[in-house]
C-alpha cells in the first residue's frame, strides 16, 4: 500500500495507464523535461520517451486541438493545462469538436481525451491561477466533469477518465496537491465515474460538496457532531453526469441540505443541485436549501483569499441555520 499526496496519485495513475496502454499520450506545457508545473508528470519523459510525453508551445487552444485530433485517430491523449485560469482558450475545441465528435459522426468516432488542470484558490497565486470553472464545463453536453477530493479518488477517477471513450475535464484542486497523504493500493483499480461518494452517514442535514471544499465541509461536520448535529457528507466527485439519486436519497432522509462549493455562487453548480432537489424532493424538505460558495468576484489575492473560500465557520453556520429554520 502506498501513502501518497494527491499530485503523487495523479502521477501514479498516469504512469500505470501509460504502462498498460501504449495509446496513452501526455502533452502540455513543460510536462516533459520539467515534469509539469506541479510535478504531476515528473519522470514520465524518461520512462516513456518523447514520442509519448510531448512538451508543447505556450498555446492552450493548440494543446486542446491537438488532443482532439489524436483522440479522433485512436490515441488517448491526456492534456495538461497549467492553471485553470488559462483553460478558456480550450473552450472552442471542447465545445465545438471534442464534445460533439460522437454525435457528429453518428458514433463512428469517439473522443477519448482527458483535459487535466489544477483548479481553485488557496496557494496564494495571482489572478488567473485560482479559477473554479467546473460549472462552465458541466454545461457542455457530451463532456464529463470530474473533481477528486483525495489522493485515492484522484488515482481511481483519473484511471477511469483515461479509459472513458468520451472527453473528460479532470480538475485537480491545487491546494490539495500536497495537503495530506492517503494510503491506497497502486493496483490500477479504477473508481466509478458518475457516482457520488457518501463520506459520512448522518441524520440531521445533508452536506453536498466537491473538490477542495469537501475538506472544510468535513471539518464543519466534525464540529457540528460535537454539538449533537449529525450531517451526512456527500462528495459529488463527478459533476457531469450527476449521480443525483445518492443526493436525493440523503435529502429525503435528513430533510435539510447545504451545498458547498468554491466557485462563485451565481450560476454555480450548486444551483443545479438545488433546483433538482426542489423539482424532486421539495415535500421532503424541512427548511430552505442553503448554499455556501465563493463570492461573485474575481478570486482575490492572498490577503483576502481565505475570505473568498467557504470556511468551516460559514458552513457550520449554514447548517445551524437550516436546523433552526425547520
Q: Verify that 158 and 71 share a domain, yes or no.
A: yes
Q: Cβ of 108: how many Cβ atoms within 10 Å?
A: 9
Of residues 289, 280, 226, 210, the one with CA closest to residue 255: 289
Identify the domain containing residue 144 by its residue range. 2-184
Per-residue pLDDT of 29-60, as tens digits, reads 999 999 999 999 999 999 999 999 999 999 99
Q: Verify that 166 and 217 share a domain, yes or no.
A: no
Low-confidence ranges of the chain (pLDDT < 70): none
Q: Verify that 148 and 219 share a domain, yes or no.
A: no
Q: Verify that 158 and 286 share a domain, yes or no.
A: no
Residues annotated as catalytic (active site), given as ranges = 129
206 in a structural domain: yes
Q: What pTM value is reported for the model? A: 0.97
The pLDDT score that the predictor gives to residue 128 is 83
H or E element: which one contains 253? helix 244-254
191 in a structural domain: no
The pLDDT score that the predictor gives to residue 79 is 98
Do you know the residue count of the chain? 326
The secondary structure of 258-289 as a DSSP string is EEEEEEESTT-HHHHHHHHHHHHHGGG-SS--
When divided into structural domains, the chain yields a total of: 2
Domain boundary residue, one of 153, 184, 215? 184
Torsion sign, CA atoms 61, 62, 66, 67: negative
Q: Bridge-partner residues for 291, per DSSP?
A: 259
227 in a structural domain: yes
Q: At 169, give phi and psi (nearest 5°).
A: -95, 115
Q: Verify that 145 and 219 share a domain, yes or no.
A: no
Strand-strand pairing, 2-4 and 182-184: antiparallel
Q: Cβ of 144: how many Cβ atoms within 10 Å?
A: 23
Report the C-alpha gap between 115 and 8 in whole angstroms.
Answer: 18
144 in a structural domain: yes
192 in a structural domain: no
Q: Verify that 209 and 143 share a domain, yes or no.
A: no
Q: Verify that 201 and 180 share a domain, yes or no.
A: no
- The residues, ordered by sequence, that sit 6+ positions from 93 with a Cβ below 8 Å of its Cβ are 61, 64, 65, 67, 68
Using the structure block, give the residue that is written with the C-alpha cell 473568498.
308
Q: Verify that 178 and 52 share a domain, yes or no.
A: yes
207 in a structural domain: yes
Q: Verify that 21 and 147 share a domain, yes or no.
A: yes
266 in a structural domain: yes
> 82-93 burial by CB neighbour count: b if 16+ within 10 A, else e?
bbbbbbeebbeb
CATH number of the domain that 285 lies in?
3.40.50.920
190 in a structural domain: no
Largest CA distance in the chain: 60
Amino acid at each position: 500500500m502506498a501513502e501518497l499526496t494527491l499530485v503523487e496519485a495523479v502521477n501514479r495513475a498516469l504512469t500505470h495507464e501509460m504502462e498498460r496502454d501504449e495509446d496513452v499520450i501526455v502533452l502540455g506545457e513543460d510536462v516533459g523535461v520539467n515534469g509539469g508545473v506541479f510535478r504531476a508528470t515528473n519522470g514520465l519523459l524518461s520512462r516513456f520517451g518523447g514520442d509519448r510525453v510531448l512538451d508543447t508551445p505556450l498555446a492552450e487552444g493548440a494543446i486542446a486541438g491537438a488532443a482532439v485530433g489524436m483522440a479522433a485517430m485512436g490515441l488517448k491523449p491526456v492534456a495538461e493545462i497549467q492553471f485553470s485560469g488559462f483553460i478558456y482558450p480550450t473552450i472552442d475545441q471542447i465545445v465545438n469538436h471534442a464534445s460533439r465528435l460522437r454525435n457528429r459522426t453518428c458514433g463512428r468516432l469517439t473522443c477519448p481525451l482527458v483535459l487535466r488542470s489544477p483548479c481553485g484558490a488557496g496557494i496564494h497565486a495571482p489572478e488567473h491561477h485560482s479559477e473554479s470553472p467546473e460549472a462552465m464545463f458541466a454545461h457542455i453536453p457530451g463532456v464529463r466533469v470530474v473533481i477528486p477530493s483525495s489522493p485515492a479518488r484522484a488515482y481511481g477517477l483519473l484511471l477511469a477518465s483515461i479509459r472513458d471513450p468520451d472527453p473528460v475535464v479532470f480538475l485537480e484542486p491545487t491546494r490539495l496537491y500536497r495537503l495530506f497523504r492517503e494510503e491506497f493500493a497502486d493496483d490500477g483499480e479504477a473508481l466509478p465515474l458518475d457516482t457520488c461518494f457518501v463520506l459520512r452517514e448522518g441524520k440531521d442535514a445533508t452536506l453536498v460538496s466537491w473538490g477542495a471544499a469537501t475538506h472544510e465541509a468535513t471539518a464543519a461536520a466534525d464540529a457540528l457532531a460535537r454539538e449533537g448535529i449529525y450531517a451526512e457528507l456527500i462528495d459529488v466527485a463527478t459533476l457531469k453526469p450527476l449521480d443525483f439519486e445518492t443526493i436525493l436519497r440523503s435529502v429525503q432522509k435528513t430533510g435539510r441540505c447545504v451545498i458547498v462549493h468554491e466557485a462563485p455562487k451565481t450560476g454555480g453548480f450548486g444551483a443545479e443541485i438545488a433546483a433538482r432537489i426542489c423539482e424532486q424532493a421539495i415535500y421532503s424538505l424541512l427548511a430552505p436549501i442553503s448554499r455556501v460558495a465563493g463570492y461573485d468576484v474575481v478570486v482575490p489575492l492572498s490577503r483576502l483569499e481565505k475570505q473568498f473560500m467557504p470556511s468551516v465557520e460559514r458552513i457550520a453556520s449554514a447548517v445551524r441555520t437550516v436546523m433552526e429554520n425547520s
